[in-house]
Structure 1
Amino acid sequence: MASLERDPAQSFTVGVDFGTLSGRALVVRISDGRELASAVYDYPDGVIDSRLPGTADPLPGDWALQNPADWVGVLRHAVPAAVRASGIDAADVVAIATDFTACTVLPTDRAGTPLCAKAELRARPHAWPKLWRHHAAQGQADRINALAHERKEPWIGRYGGRISSEWEFAKALQVLEEDRTVYDATERWIEAADWIVWQLTGSESRNACTAGYKGIFQGGQYPSADYLAALHPDFADFPATRLAHPLSNLGDAAGRLTAQAADWTGLPAGIVVAVGNVDAHVSAPAAQAVESGQLLAVMGTSTCHVMSADILAEVPGMCGVVEGGIIAGKYGYEAGQSGVGDIFAWWVDNNVPDAYRAEAERRGQSVHAYLTELAAQDPIGAHGLVALDWHSGNRSVLVDHRLSGLVVGLTLATRPEEVYRALLESTAFGTRRIIEAFTDSGVPVDEFVVIGGLLKNEFLMQLYADVIGRPLSIALSSQGPALGSAIHAAVAVGAYPDVPTAARSMGKLHKHAYLPDPRRQAAYDDLYAEYLRLHDYFGRPEDDGGNAVMHRLRDLRDRANSAGIDR
């Protein structure tokens, strides 16, 4: 950690949040966390899921890639725009920190050049960064899990018993097995969270958060060469040759801003650059969710649940538990739902009649707000529906991205707002199932804290409080990840001794903004019981009383799409 030798009231940090479709830069005053200005840069290529830029060949199903040039565009455009809008002198910015979606991972050469930037590899899909929502490595993930349980690998319990297809090893094994040319050219396999810091400092660094949660780094080591060789003989040296690097703690300084990065951002060369972080985990101090028992839900297109605790436990279906993974000195737990806001958007974009859209426009409302208003008028359970929130698969607690969404109880009288409400409820039920996995494993959850765009929907927030039966607090910043990064930058430059101390000055929280209503909570209990029955029947293996129909349907879909038969 550096030492700040300036007045904190006249010193500022910049937090940069790299999201799924855009990147945001935020200028923050160190002394009190005041947010002066922000700017957004939309990725020109967005999510690459149909075809590579400049090519006509379609990508296979479940692929999701990104263009690293888009990420650099955030540094070139959003950062200087935010500083200009803030009205401060750029010379008063003393540190910068970044966060990223995860696991978003890319292959590079030894100098950090992305393989997709090389002319000879650009047309190969595996040379491009794999976004967190890339789910095409499910087969590799299944084998990773099965072999880990067969060999009783000690680390598998730290991940709830299952490694996700979203994580580093599954994606890397997919590259090895499907494009040996790209795999052999890969000299560094690196999280985007660390790659962007590399671009800022000119030197490679690795953060403890992504290594622990996404890279199976536990007990000071990656999975053994023997285990990896059993997956594929040429995978044995994967960590040693492509991952190995000293890990840095969250809130530490990774290096100093290079002259090139200073030219991109308009910031002074030589200022502190903090160690990279994950967008969900970095948000905890922005919401002052740094104490044990505070479960933070970062709610947007998906939801990531993170929480610190004083105890170490193996929680079934969790994404991982990492010592110091969120806050130093505590065990950081992560869980998540792969689809939340995306599910609501899918319904609005594809299933709402024109008459509803016209009425929403007449009222000056979004379609989401109009549907919410209509849905809120009915008693709990009056729609006769229950839904499963698996439209993007299940991240926790089943850890299976081949699962799909479901709505039960539809009739010819079912109205669009009723299905919309059932989908809202399904995501709350999914969160309750995650909370129960924690509490059943001896990890207490005392308070539910929400940050992200969805907290603007007051009906949804009250619904969550009623379903989970706990007080719901809301972060007062609408830019949680960027503010969280700015807080970490303040610690890295020495303005505060640690992240919790910085959070108390710079974070913003409305405690217990929503309280559960006992009558509504009891009514939702009945619906949740039906959700659990469906959850276990369609999500569990057939030898555990489940039904694999969702897997079979996905297999039929994939075979039909690849064969192109019976059109």
Structure 2
Amino acid sequence: MAAHVIGIDFGTLSGRAVVVRVSDGAEVGSAVHEYAHGAVERALPGTGRPLPPSWALQVPQDWRDVVREAVPKALAAADVPASDVVGIGTDFTACTVLPTLADGTPLCELDGLADRPHAYPKLWKHHAAQGQADRINAVAEARGEPWLRRYGGRISSEWQFAKGLQVLDEDPELYDRAERWIEAADWIVWELCGAETRNVCTAGYKGIHQDDSYPSRDYLAALDPRFADFVDKLRHPLSPLGGRAGSLTARAAALTGLPEGIAVAVGNVDAHVTAPAARAVEPGQLVAIMGTSTCHVLSSDQLAEVPGMCGVVADGIVSGLWGYEAGQSGVGDIFAWFASTSVPPSYLDDAAAAGRDIHEHLSALAAAQPVGAHGLVALDWHSGNRSVLVDHALSGVILGQTLATRPEEQYRALVEATAYGTRMIIETFEAAGVPVTEVVAAGGLLKNAFLMQVYADVLRRPIAVIGSAQGPALGSAIHAAVAAGHYTDVRTAAAVMGSRGPAVYRPDAERADAYDPIYADYRELHDHFGRGASNVLHRLHARRAGA
């Protein structure tokens, strides 16, 4: 028999399972299951209670349904007997976090709590805790908390502590009922193996766990005396990436059709788990996972304080190296928004006549333009700024429009803006003394060759690409192979099971030169609107939230 493992990637709108051969990383079958409830952003399911602006929730049953539906379908597609499967690994969006009882039961599934928004898991892009994040940062800075430097000087509204503090502020009764506050990445592992675990990745990047400790009780009490016990809801021994969390329970075996007792890997984050799938686990290799948002993960043998990063964590990507994380909260989401709201019907007709979807059509039209011909520059903040400003009260900007501006020109300006945002992140790394020696791209946006070439030109760097269309799921499968004992560590497994594609996007010198002055304009606007010269975007955000 040939040993196989299963990787499951839980995304924003769906989950996907892939069956992978342990000996060479070949992906032999896969299946996708769409969440019934998707991202809950307007009203609670069932009750219809409306949600305020900047909220984004999920429903735990959707995650269970991925396990029940996608795993058997992936096995069937692979034509691999379940008896050949030796392990299962999972990854999740982060920080997607939920309140539960001590046995792992989500509060939203308890009688009487279906109409309480704070009882549901908060999706990574829940940005309604910006006020709490501001408080966390101000108090930490005033007290000189040493851990703040590991996060570039600012904690994000997306992370565990800000979201937990929001629950306390807005629904203190529910806060008290929550015996656990847990990342979905760890919760789904609990469902599979029956054991509560906490992985070093989410704890380090999203849970402010540094140097073997969380923020002190005194600090938490300074935020709010009632918040002093928050770490009690998190506290649990941390497990290393690639470790074995436990064995598949009889209940989970019946749900998936897999053998009881196979290895269940410690949970992980979708972006970080992609690095081994892309064979990018050595110092200086930066992986950009480009989809609805973009996450940048970088392994390094150097520890530095990098302003505005999401964090630096020991062993956060692979053991023995420092793992850095940065990101952009909106990328593919921005393009999707534009295509669904700002394109005339005639463009849709033309795209259909050409046999292209609207993104392919806009990209083809945009690609025909010389660099800078549209006279536009945009800021990619439609979902706020994750790095390097760490401010989700910011919003998108596009300057230079005239009555002659065409949709494809605006589309190109938005693509370029996201590339400028990535260049800002890379330059911030290198200015802090953390070299970036290679850029590797993964994620759904790889299929857009125009976009990828723009990035290469703007960055003035070649961009290699992952060889798998299911990078996170493949990465989870690699971790499952290590947890099952088939490889000694993740780096060894990545060398065998990881995948690189043949394409490398190389910068065109003429276009790269033309982009430099536009990028300088982007930086000027970035600092003007993002660093306090103008607070108009914050005022607009406050008015929208108040309305």
Same fold by TM (over 0.5)? yes
- C-alpha distance in 2, partners of 1:78/1:510? 26
Give 2:385's aligned amino acid: N
- C-alpha distance in 2, partners of 1:394/1:442? 23
Deviations 1:190-219, CA, capped at 9 Å, x for gaps: 000000000000110110000000000001
The aligned runs of 1:373-384 (5 Å cut-off) are: 373-384=364-375
Contact 2:467 2:502 in 1 (8 A): no
- C-alpha distance in 1, partners of 2:461/2:50? 46
Q: Give the aligned partner of residue 195 of structure 1.
A: 187
- C-alpha distance in 2, partners of 1:408/1:370? 23
CA deviation after TM superposition for structure 1 residue 120, in Å = 2.1
Contact 2:204 2:316 in 1 (8 A): yes
Aligned residue among 6, 10, 18 for 1:14: 6
Q: Give the aligned partner of residue 564 of structure 1.
A: none
Contact 1:38 1:82 in 2 (8 A): yes
- Shifted more, 426-435 versus 370-379: the winner is 370-379
Contact 1:297 1:303 in 2 (8 A): yes
The aligned runs of 1:171-186 (5 Å cut-off) are: 171-186=163-178
Matched, 1:538 2:529: yes
CA deviation after TM superposition for structure 1 residue 471, in Å = 1.5
Deviations 1:135-166, CA, capped at 9 Å, x for gaps: 00000000000111111100000000000000
Q: Give the aligned partner of residue 124 of structure 1.
A: 116
Contact 1:15 1:96 in 2 (8 A): yes
Contact 1:22 1:40 in 2 (8 A): yes
- C-alpha distance in 2, partners of 1:499/1:54? 42
Matched, 1:149 2:141: yes
Q: Give the aligned partner of residue 221 of structure 1.
A: 213
Residue correspondences, number: 547
Give 2:164's aligned amino acid: A
Deviations 1:255-298, CA, capped at 9 Å, x for gaps: 00000000111000000000000000000011101111111000
Matched, 1:558 2:545: yes
CA deviation after TM superposition for structure 1 residue 442, in Å = 0.2
- C-alpha distance in 1, partners of 2:543/2:43? 22
Contact 1:297 1:306 in 2 (8 A): yes
Aligned residue among 461, 464, 471 for 2:462: 471
The aligned runs of 1:162-561 (5 Å cut-off) are: 162-239=154-231, 241-510=232-501, 513-541=504-532, 546-559=533-546, 561=547
CA deviation after TM superposition for structure 1 residue 56, in Å = 2.9
Deviations 1:156-200, CA, capped at 9 Å, x for gaps: 000000000000000000001110111010001000000000000
Contact 1:471 1:512 in 2 (8 A): no
Change (3 A) 1:419 1:408: same
- C-alpha distance in 2, partners of 1:557/1:515? 42
- C-alpha distance in 1, partners of 2:543/2:7? 45
- C-alpha distance in 2, partners of 1:508/1:428? 24
TM-score of the pair, normalised by structure 1: 0.96
Secondary structure at the residue paired with 1:155? helix
Secondary structure at the residue paired with 1:17? strand
- C-alpha distance in 1, partners of 2:70/2:221? 44
CA deviation after TM superposition for structure 1 residue 558, in Å = 2.1
Deviations 1:423-456, CA, capped at 9 Å, x for gaps: 0000000000000110000000111100011111
TM-score of the pair, normalised by structure 2: 0.99
Deviations 1:317-360, CA, capped at 9 Å, x for gaps: 00000000001000000000000000011111011111111011
CA deviation after TM superposition for structure 1 residue 512, in Å = 6.9
Aligned residue among 98, 101, 107 for 1:115: 107
Give 2:510's aligned amino acid: R
Contact 1:446 1:470 in 2 (8 A): no
Contact 2:47 2:114 in 1 (8 A): no
Deviations 1:344-386, CA, capped at 9 Å, x for gaps: 1111101111111101101100111111111111110000000
- C-alpha distance in 1, partners of 2:131/2:528? 22
Q: CA RMSD in A?
A: 0.8
The aligned runs of 1:10-89 (5 Å cut-off) are: 10-89=2-81
